[in-house]
Amino acid sequence: MRVAVVGCVHGEVDSLYAAIRELERRQSTKVDLVICPGDFQAVRNQSDLACMACPPKYRGMGSFWKYYNGSAFAHVPTIFVGGNHEASYHLQQLPLGGLVAPNMYFLGNAGVVNFGGLRIAGISGVYTEKDYEKPRFERPPYPKNEIKSVYHTRKEDVKRLLRLRRPVDIVVSHDWPRGIWRHGDLPRLLSAKPFLRSEIANNTLGNPGTAELLSTLQPSFWFAAHMHVKFAAIVEHLLGKRTKFLALDKIVPRRDFVQLLDIPVQPHQSSAFGTEPSIDSGGKRIDLDLEWLSVLHTEQIDPQRNTPVTTEEMERTSVAMQNDKLEMCVHMVSDFKQVASVYKPGDKPEPPPSELEFHPHTLGMMVPLGIKANPPTSAEEQDPMSDMDHSSRNAKELVDIGAE
């Protein structure tokens, strides 16, 4: 599989696909899949823009809205997770994942899919200790603290992914697994980002939850972003397994924001059901992952359970879903449905929505999985101290392709 990994897009979706086309032209190749580890910024309209966690002067519509309204199209299937600068309301409508535009798939708060034989897991957000063990309570119009806590990684999502036992090829996250810097070129990293020195010395750089995922799942590849720097590492596990880690820069001229990789494909026989090709790339398609769906389903029966699902439980999950409007679940990845207003250049600023309404695809997933379709209804008291994000303003005026 020829996979293009990119760094933070920050809403510059036109620039992303222009760079991919140029890469394909220069190397006389065709990219099968694009993976973005967060800060994608799927902003549909001015109301979405008001839900993004960054100073108002740095908020920009970007170009995703063209792909949402159909005036532009992603020529390569794209899978992404959420970062800390996102259209939070849009992504909160899709906690279990789903299409944000034709050919663009969001993995949800956490999720697993199969694409052309590659098994891809992802987890959204960034780590902040004060919110890690809290349930998700945020809802629009997002008071000052909730507009940040809405994108914080939660332990419950890490625990769900830890229940996976079948091999995972790729894990995608926004921030880095804690301690990953030990496995790469640290002097080069500190030369590029000297402000990281204190966090490295204190061992607070990165996410301890995803570090546990790394050591447990031991995927072949792990892709991240967030720090706006290219950093590669190789993690050696027991029994000879290894994980190749790669983080990339944001999309700006003459920076390392895209990497083309040829990844071996080993079908895992864990796709959910036989759907028609939808997110298509030369016959390859995205499929829901049966083991992941079984994790979600069995969790509703036993919320405290931490053990892997059995083959028998996966079979029961499959039967249960087939008996309960399975096509609604399958359409999560096959049918894009536009549910928000369409942006028009010149539109005036709008406030955030006043309440959370799940996307119809989310409701279609919740019913067969037995998940209660109740958005969060109460906010907890928040720490008045704001969290620190290693990020900067949106990239503008891309004039050249990034490093290959």
Give me the residue spans of the domains in the chain: 2-268+279-369
Considering the entire predicted model, what is its pTM?
0.89
CA 108 to chain centre: 6
- The residues, any chain, with a CB within 8 Å of residue 78's CB and separated by 6 or more, are 33, 34, 35, 36, 103, 104, 105
> Which pair of structure tokens corresponds to residue 179?
């301690």
pLDDT at 353: 94
Alpha-carbon distances, residue 198 vs 190, 203, 389 (angstroms): 10, 8, 15
Mean pLDDT by 10 residues, the chain (404 residues): 97 97 96 97 97 88 96 96 97 95 96 93 98 95 93 97 96 98 98 97 97 98 98 96 98 94 76 42 74 93 91 84 55 73 92 93 85 62 34 29 34
Specify the CATH superfamily of domain 2-268+279-369. Metallo-dependent phosphatases (3.60.21.10)
pLDDT at 386: 34
pLDDT at 54: 87
pLDDT at 279: 43
Strand runs labelled E in 275-330: 286-288
Give helix 360-369 / helix 326-334 axis angle, nearest 10°.
Answer: 140
pLDDT at 325: 52
